[in-house]
Amino acid sequence: MNRRRRRKRIGVGRIVLIAALIIAVVVVAKVAHGASVNRANDASPNSGPADVSEELQAETGAGVVGIRPGAQTAAGPEDGREDGQVFLRPAPQETQEETGSEWPDEPGLAVGPAETEPPAPAIDPSQPMVALTFDDGPSATLTPRLLDILRDNGVHATFFVVGYNLDGNEAILQRAVAEGHEIGNHTMNHPHLRSLGSAELDQEIGAMRQRIVDITGQQVVPIRPPYGETNDTVDAHITDPVILWSVDSRDWADRDVGMACDHIYNDTFDGCIILMHDIHPETVDAAAIFIPWLKEQGYQLVTVSELGQYRSGGLNAGEHYFSIAAPETEAAETAPAETAA
């Protein structure tokens, strides 16, 4: 009896196991069939998983077809996509919620090249701008302080340097250029150029120019003749734009922070060139005050070459500049007063 019951129990167990296997096989077969039908319905003709360029070309009114690569493909799992799925990017005319949410971040399918160019300078040519100029340096102590102020305010300036201040200060010029400023030629020895002969002019102008080129690599070196003094003989030795000025801070005469600021507050206009000297501590102290003020007034602070570039398409060699007005408001240029530059 015991034996028989045991056999009977074993027989029932086998039947249950076989039935379970049959159900399992049927389910697997149905699932496999359904998946293949879905693929046949959904996949586009160019459904190769790596054919991204053709997918992008397919971007029409109907939308973009994208294929998530399967685990077996070379795309690998690092892109976080699910395996082997095919899906349709919603067309632009579809509803907002669909277009925004249904397409996951797909860096591999991004349209257009990656942005590699540095951001353009934030100068708006249609807005007011002025050129700050600092003469007679560099100063080993004051010019770096001024460079800090310019950097902290995000503005640029032009430094008209003299030869007798260059030795040992070359790195200051290189820092200035690296930070977007411009170096100008203010001669070797700050002489009255009109009184010099040809050989001396070559030394004061040409040799000094070459010194600046050697230090900075600048191709154009705007020149400011000391005291603003030129004549035809002097000009014949000049191969760069001649930069004079239209606003005199009179920092060289007053040596006073408040007075330097007042001159700039009262006299600054769009396109002007402002004369200052970075060998006076009062000038650097004033710069920390009037530069934020100029920015608040809407002025963009640029180098003289930038002013020329934005306002007239570039500075011309040999031409004398006191200010550069916006093209549509061609204002008369202002001659500088006799002064010490």
Which positions are catalytic? 135, 277
Of 136-144, 298-306, 311-319, 326-334, the window that binds Zn ion (rule: CB under 5 A) is 136-144
Chain residue whose CB lies nearest Zn ion: 135
**Which of 138, 226 has the CB closer to Zn ion?**
226
Q: Do the bridges between strand 158-161 and strand 129-135 make them parallel or antiparallel, or are there none, so unpaired?
A: parallel
In whole angstroms, how close is the CB of 283 to Zn ion at the nearest point?
12
Q: How far is CA 92 from the centre of its chain?
A: 32
**Which of 55, 136 has the CB closer to Zn ion?**
136
Whole-number Å distance between alpha carbons of 244 and 341: 9
Of 16-24, 44-52, 222-230, 319-327, the window that binds Zn ion (rule: CB under 5 A) is 222-230
Task: Assess 341 for contact with Zn ion (CB under 5 A).
Answer: yes
Of 129-137, 197-205, 240-248, 286-294, the window that binds Zn ion (rule: CB under 5 A) is 129-137
Distances (CA, A) of 239 to 80, 130, 236: 61, 24, 8
Ramachandran assignment for 243, one of left (phi > 0), alpha (psi -120 to 50 degrees), beta (any other): beta
In whole angstroms, how close is the CB of 153 to Zn ion at the nearest point?
24
Q: Which of 135, 182, 204, 306 binds Zn ion (CB under 5 A)?
A: 135
**Which of 65, 273 has the CB closer to Zn ion?**
273
Question: Residue 251, class by beta-carbon neighbours within 10 Å (0-12 exposed, 13-18 middle, 19+ buried)?
Answer: buried
Number of separate helices (H) and strands (E) present in the chain: 12, 10
Whole-number Å distance between alpha carbons of 115 and 265: 41
Contacts with Zn ion by CB under 5 A: the residue count is 4
- Please check whether residue 212 is in contact with residue 221, taking contact to mean a CB–CB distance below 8 angstroms: yes
Q: Which of 75, 89, 132, 136 binds Zn ion (CB under 5 A)?
A: 136
**Which of 67, 142 has the CB closer to Zn ion?**
142
Q: Where do contacts with Zn ion occur on this chain (CB under 5 A)?
A: 135-136, 226, 341
